[in-house]
Amino acid sequence: MRRLFALLCAAGLLTLPGCSSGRVNDKYYLRSVTITGNRDVSLNMDFFAEELRLTGVSGSSPQDARRHAELLCGRDIFTGYTELVVLGDCDSRAVLEAMLRDWRVSPSCLVVYCSAPDELADSLSAEELTGIVREAVRQGLAPECGLVSVLSGLLRGGAEVPEVCAEGFRGVKKIGST
Protein backbone atom coordinates (compact mmCIF):
# COMPACT_ATOMS: atom_id res chain seq x y z
CA MET A 1 0.00 0.00 0.00
CA ARG A 2 2.81 2.31 1.01
CA ARG A 3 4.76 1.53 -2.14
CA LEU A 4 1.73 2.18 -4.32
CA PHE A 5 1.22 5.51 -2.55
CA ALA A 6 4.86 6.45 -3.08
CA LEU A 7 4.72 5.47 -6.75
CA LEU A 8 1.59 7.55 -7.28
CA CYS A 9 3.27 10.54 -5.64
CA ALA A 10 6.33 10.10 -7.82
CA ALA A 11 4.23 9.81 -10.97
CA GLY A 12 2.26 12.86 -9.97
CA LEU A 13 5.43 14.81 -9.34
CA LEU A 14 6.74 14.03 -12.79
CA THR A 15 3.75 15.69 -14.36
CA LEU A 16 4.34 18.92 -12.52
CA PRO A 17 5.77 21.88 -14.42
CA GLY A 18 9.49 22.29 -14.14
CA CYS A 19 10.70 19.44 -16.24
CA SER A 20 9.70 21.14 -19.45
CA SER A 21 11.09 24.52 -18.54
CA GLY A 22 14.16 24.96 -16.43
CA ARG A 23 16.55 26.90 -18.56
CA VAL A 24 18.59 29.48 -16.75
CA ASN A 25 18.79 31.77 -19.76
CA ASP A 26 15.05 31.99 -20.31
CA LYS A 27 14.82 35.05 -18.05
CA TYR A 28 16.20 38.57 -17.95
CA TYR A 29 17.87 39.48 -14.66
CA LEU A 30 17.08 43.00 -13.54
CA ARG A 31 20.02 45.04 -12.32
CA SER A 32 18.59 48.47 -11.70
CA VAL A 33 15.25 50.17 -12.04
CA THR A 34 14.14 53.79 -12.11
CA ILE A 35 10.60 54.56 -10.97
CA THR A 36 8.59 57.68 -11.46
CA GLY A 37 4.91 58.54 -11.42
CA ASN A 38 2.29 58.71 -8.72
CA ARG A 39 -0.97 57.46 -10.19
CA ASP A 40 0.65 55.34 -12.90
CA VAL A 41 4.26 54.31 -12.45
CA SER A 42 6.80 54.42 -15.24
CA LEU A 43 9.88 52.18 -15.11
CA ASN A 44 13.28 52.31 -16.79
CA MET A 45 15.01 48.92 -16.47
CA ASP A 46 18.62 47.85 -16.85
CA PHE A 47 19.60 44.18 -16.98
CA PHE A 48 22.66 42.05 -16.27
CA ALA A 49 24.73 40.87 -19.19
CA GLU A 50 22.29 42.08 -21.79
CA GLU A 51 22.31 45.01 -24.16
CA LEU A 52 18.61 45.32 -23.53
CA ARG A 53 17.32 48.39 -21.76
CA LEU A 54 13.67 49.14 -21.29
CA THR A 55 12.48 52.68 -20.83
CA GLY A 56 9.11 54.20 -20.10
CA VAL A 57 7.30 50.97 -19.27
CA SER A 58 4.17 51.96 -17.43
CA GLY A 59 1.55 50.32 -15.30
CA SER A 60 -0.88 50.98 -12.48
CA SER A 61 1.62 49.53 -10.00
CA PRO A 62 5.22 48.29 -10.09
CA GLN A 63 3.97 44.72 -10.46
CA ASP A 64 1.69 45.70 -13.32
CA ALA A 65 4.49 47.62 -15.01
CA ARG A 66 6.72 44.59 -14.66
CA ARG A 67 4.16 42.41 -16.43
CA HIS A 68 4.05 44.92 -19.28
CA ALA A 69 7.84 44.84 -19.44
CA GLU A 70 7.81 41.05 -19.68
CA LEU A 71 5.34 41.29 -22.55
CA LEU A 72 7.56 43.79 -24.31
CA CYS A 73 10.76 41.80 -24.07
CA GLY A 74 9.19 38.36 -24.39
CA ARG A 75 10.74 36.78 -21.28
CA ASP A 76 10.22 36.62 -17.54
CA ILE A 77 12.08 39.24 -15.58
CA PHE A 78 13.77 38.05 -12.43
CA THR A 79 13.97 40.86 -9.92
CA GLY A 80 15.72 39.12 -7.02
CA TYR A 81 19.12 40.49 -8.05
CA THR A 82 18.12 44.12 -8.28
CA GLU A 83 21.06 46.18 -7.02
CA LEU A 84 19.73 49.70 -7.37
CA VAL A 85 16.36 51.40 -7.19
CA VAL A 86 16.24 54.99 -8.33
CA LEU A 87 13.18 56.80 -7.08
CA GLY A 88 11.87 59.79 -8.93
CA ASP A 89 8.72 61.65 -8.22
CA CYS A 90 6.54 58.83 -6.85
CA ASP A 91 4.94 57.38 -3.72
CA SER A 92 8.19 56.03 -2.32
CA ARG A 93 6.68 54.04 0.49
CA ALA A 94 4.14 52.23 -1.69
CA VAL A 95 6.76 51.51 -4.35
CA LEU A 96 9.35 50.12 -1.94
CA GLU A 97 6.71 48.11 -0.11
CA ALA A 98 5.64 46.52 -3.39
CA MET A 99 9.24 45.76 -4.28
CA LEU A 100 9.90 44.05 -0.98
CA ARG A 101 6.67 42.07 -1.05
CA ASP A 102 6.11 41.29 -4.73
CA TRP A 103 9.48 41.68 -6.40
CA ARG A 104 11.41 40.01 -3.54
CA VAL A 105 14.19 42.46 -4.03
CA SER A 106 17.29 41.83 -1.94
CA PRO A 107 17.33 43.74 1.36
CA SER A 108 20.78 45.08 0.44
CA CYS A 109 19.40 46.71 -2.69
CA LEU A 110 20.36 50.41 -2.69
CA VAL A 111 17.70 53.08 -2.87
CA VAL A 112 18.56 56.53 -4.21
CA TYR A 113 16.68 59.57 -5.41
CA CYS A 114 16.98 61.37 -8.71
CA SER A 115 14.98 64.39 -9.80
CA ALA A 116 15.60 63.73 -13.52
CA PRO A 117 15.75 59.97 -13.97
CA ASP A 118 15.51 60.06 -17.77
CA GLU A 119 18.79 61.99 -18.05
CA LEU A 120 20.43 59.50 -15.71
CA ALA A 121 19.75 56.57 -17.99
CA ASP A 122 21.71 58.22 -20.84
CA SER A 123 24.79 59.20 -18.90
CA LEU A 124 25.59 56.55 -16.32
CA SER A 125 25.30 52.77 -16.49
CA ALA A 126 23.76 50.78 -13.69
CA GLU A 127 27.15 49.44 -12.68
CA GLU A 128 28.69 52.90 -12.50
CA LEU A 129 25.80 54.33 -10.55
CA THR A 130 25.83 51.47 -8.02
CA GLY A 131 29.56 51.92 -7.54
CA ILE A 132 29.17 55.67 -6.99
CA VAL A 133 26.50 55.19 -4.36
CA ARG A 134 28.45 52.48 -2.53
CA GLU A 135 31.52 54.66 -2.44
CA ALA A 136 29.52 57.60 -1.14
CA VAL A 137 28.12 55.46 1.66
CA ARG A 138 31.56 54.07 2.44
CA GLN A 139 33.04 57.54 2.67
CA GLY A 140 30.23 58.64 4.99
CA LEU A 141 28.87 61.17 2.51
CA ALA A 142 25.57 59.37 2.31
CA PRO A 143 23.55 57.39 4.86
CA GLU A 144 22.96 53.64 4.71
CA CYS A 145 20.34 53.26 2.02
CA GLY A 146 19.41 49.60 1.93
CA LEU A 147 15.83 48.87 1.03
CA VAL A 148 14.77 47.86 4.54
CA SER A 149 16.50 50.87 6.18
CA VAL A 150 14.84 53.31 3.78
CA LEU A 151 11.43 51.67 4.18
CA SER A 152 11.83 51.77 7.94
CA GLY A 153 12.56 55.48 7.75
CA LEU A 154 9.60 56.10 5.47
CA LEU A 155 7.31 54.44 8.00
CA ARG A 156 8.55 56.91 10.60
CA GLY A 157 7.80 59.93 8.45
CA GLY A 158 10.76 60.28 6.11
CA ALA A 159 14.05 58.74 5.08
CA GLU A 160 17.33 60.23 3.94
CA VAL A 161 18.73 58.74 0.78
CA PRO A 162 21.64 59.65 -1.53
CA GLU A 163 20.64 61.90 -4.41
CA VAL A 164 22.21 61.23 -7.80
CA CYS A 165 22.19 63.04 -11.08
CA ALA A 166 23.71 62.71 -14.53
CA GLU A 167 27.08 63.88 -13.17
CA GLY A 168 27.02 61.40 -10.29
CA PHE A 169 26.54 61.88 -6.56
CA ARG A 170 24.78 65.14 -5.68
CA GLY A 171 24.03 64.90 -1.96
CA VAL A 172 21.42 63.64 0.45
CA LYS A 173 17.68 64.02 -0.02
CA LYS A 174 14.88 63.38 2.45
CA ILE A 175 12.04 61.50 0.80
CA GLY A 176 8.59 60.60 1.99
CA SER A 177 8.34 63.41 4.54
CA THR A 178 4.81 64.75 4.97
Partner 1 sequence: MTEKQLTRQQLAAMLLMTDVFALFCLRGGLSAVTAAAFAAACGVQFVLTLPLVVTVRRGRELPRAALWTVLAGLVIWGGGLFDMLWDAAGLIFTVPGNSWTISGRMLTSGLIAAVCVYAASEGRQALARASVIAAALGAVCLAVVAVSAATGSDWHDLTLARSGRGFLGDFTECFAMSGGVSTLILLLPGTKGEPLAGTGVYFAAKGVISAVEILTAALVTGGIMPLVTCPVITAAQLSQPFPTQRIDALFLMIFAIFAVFALAVQTVAAAGALGRLVPQFTRLRSAAVTAAMLGAAFLPISREIRVVGTAVLLLIPLAALAADRTGGRK
Partner 2 sequence: MRPDELSRIRISPDLEHNITTIQSIAHSSADLLVDRFTAGGVRCALLCCEGMVSTSVITELILEPVTSLPDIGTPDALLRYIQDKLLLSLDRPEVTELDSLFRLMNSGFAVLLIDGLEKAPAFGVQGYPTRGIQEPSGEANIMGAHEGFAESLHLNMSLVRRRLKSPELVMEIITKGGVSRTDLCLCYLQDRVPQELLAHIRRSLGKMKLEAVLSTGYVRPFLEGKGFRIFDSAGTTERPDVLSSKLIEGRVAVLIDGVPYAVVVPRLFCESFQTLDDYAFKPYYVTLIRWIKYAAFLITVLLPAVYTAVVVYHPELLNSTLLMLLVEAEKQAPLSIVTETAGVLLMYEIIREAGIRLPKPVGGAVSIVSGLIIGDAAVQSGLVSTPLLTMTALAVISGFVVPELNPQVTVLRFAFLIAGSTLGLFGISLLACAVLINICATEDFGFPYTAPISPFRLSGMQDTAVRAGFRKMQERDFTVEEYLEK
Q: Which phi and psi angles does 16 have, rounded to 5°?
A: -70, 155
Q: Does 134 bind partner 2 (CB under 8 A)?
A: no
Q: Which does 140 bind (CB under 5 to 8 A by kind): partner 2, partner 1, none?
A: none
Tell which one of 50, 60, 107, 177 touches partner 1 (CB under 8 A).
107
Choose the stretch contacting partner 1; rule: CB under 8 A; options: 32-40, 117-125, 152-160, 161-169.
152-160
Chain positions 22 to 41 lying near partner 2, rule: CB under 8 A, are: 22-25, 29, 31
Residues 35-74: x/- map of binding to partner 1 (CB under 8 A)?
----------------------------------------
Instruction: Give the residue among 39, 95, 107 at the shortest CA–CA distance from 66.
Output: 95
Tell which one of 73, 100, 137, 172 touches partner 1 (CB under 8 A).
100
CB atoms within 10 A of CB 48: 14
Q: Does 127 bind partner 2 (CB under 8 A)?
A: no
Q: Does 171 bind partner 2 (CB under 8 A)?
A: no
Least distance CB 164 / partner 2 (angstroms): 21
Cα–Cα distance list, 129 to 5, 38, 42 (Å): 55, 24, 20
Q: Does 174 bind partner 1 (CB under 8 A)?
A: no
What does the binding site for partner 1 look like in residue numbers (CB under 8 A)?
2, 5-6, 9, 17-18, 80, 97, 100-101, 104, 106-108, 148-149, 151-153, 155-156
Q: Which residues bind partner 2 (CB under 8 A)?
A: 2-3, 10, 13-14, 16-25, 29, 31, 48-49, 78, 80-81, 83, 104, 106
